[in-house]
Every structure is written in structure tokens, then in C-alpha cells.
Amino acid sequence: MSFKPLFVHNDTTIHETKSGSLFIEEVGDASVAVVAIRGEDMMIVEQYRHQLEQHTYELPGGGLEVDEEPIEGAKRELKEETGIQAKEMVYLGTFHPQPYFINRYSHLFFTRDTLNFGEQSLDEDEQITVHQMPIDDVLNRIKEGRFQDGELGYAILLCKLKGLLKD
């Protein structure tokens, strides 16, 4: 199926479908996110998202660098955003947030194997607050609609289904 390209920027193309809707196509792996557990707490990052004009609560993660392996990107992003270094990670799978709109996806990881808790190393346009929360609190906030990030919910579901989180 071919789409009419409307705009190209670096490795991203915005297409128009025959019905007039838009589709974003990106080249290469997109991003990573990590369910990081320290003790009985999950690491949640809070950041302001200009697109939504509000703060969101998400898993630590971000975009992959050119030719970066997903597991290395997950370790790098976890350390940059939270200051936590992780030794071992379990690959959970991929998450496609809006396959009808964009081909972008995230590689999801899980770790309990944290080595230390140091300083953040944020990009100049990032303002991130790290929260350590009991897993039950995170689940309740999802249930109440206070945490609305799909990647967070899907990653937790995968962790539960794979027996990585206690009931």
C-alpha cells in the first residue's frame, strides 16, 4: 500500500492515506522503556509534555541512538533519567502505541538488578522528577485514571503475565 508523502524530516515521513488521514513513518528502532524495581518500589518519571500541556507519569526511557542496541539504550536511558544503573535486564517485548497512525514502537525491559542510585544526566530540554512508588500505588493510579500512559500499563501487564511482579 502506498501513501502520498506530505513532509520529510530526517528519518521521518508524514504520509496522507487515500481516505485523507495522516500516517507517520519512522526509519529504524524507535525507543525503549524500563520497568525498574528497587526493593518494593517502581521507578516512575514525571515530566511535562508540551503536546498534552500537562505532566505525565511514565516509565524511564527514551529514543535509541544511531546503531544502539535496545538493551544498551534501555540501560543508558534508565541511568540518564533516574541515576540508576542496572546490571541485568529482562526483555519484555515491543509496544506499538498507535499502529494506525505511526509505525514507531518501543522495546520494553524489566529489571530488579539495580546497582546504585546516582545523579540524573538529562538532555537540555528534559525536566524529569523521579518517583519511587509501591507497585500497588502505581496500579491503583492506573485504575483511577491518574496514570494514563499506555506504555506503562502494557509493560506492567507483560510483567504480571510473565510472573515478574508479585500479585
Domain CATH for 124: 3.90.79.10
Considering the domain boundaries, does residue 102 fall inside one?
Answer: yes
Considering the domain boundaries, does residue 110 fall inside one?
Answer: yes
Considering the domain boundaries, does residue 14 fall inside one?
Answer: no
Give CA–CA dist 133/130, Å, rounded: 10
The model carries a pTM of 0.86
Q: Tell me: the pLDDT tens digits for 94-135?
A: 998 888 777 788 999 999 988 777 787 677 777 889 999 999
CB neighbours of 62 closer than 8 A, spacing ≥ 6? 31, 32, 73, 77, 80, 81
Considering the domain boundaries, does residue 24 fall inside one?
Answer: no
Considering the domain boundaries, does residue 2 fall inside one?
Answer: no
Q: Which domain holds residue 74?
A: 29-161
Considering the domain boundaries, does residue 39 fall inside one?
Answer: yes
Considering the domain boundaries, does residue 49 fall inside one?
Answer: yes
Q: Tell me: the pLDDT tens digits for 30-63?
A: 899 999 999 889 999 999 988 888 899 999 999 9
Structurally, how many domains does the chain consist of?
A: 1
Considering the domain boundaries, does residue 17 fall inside one?
Answer: no
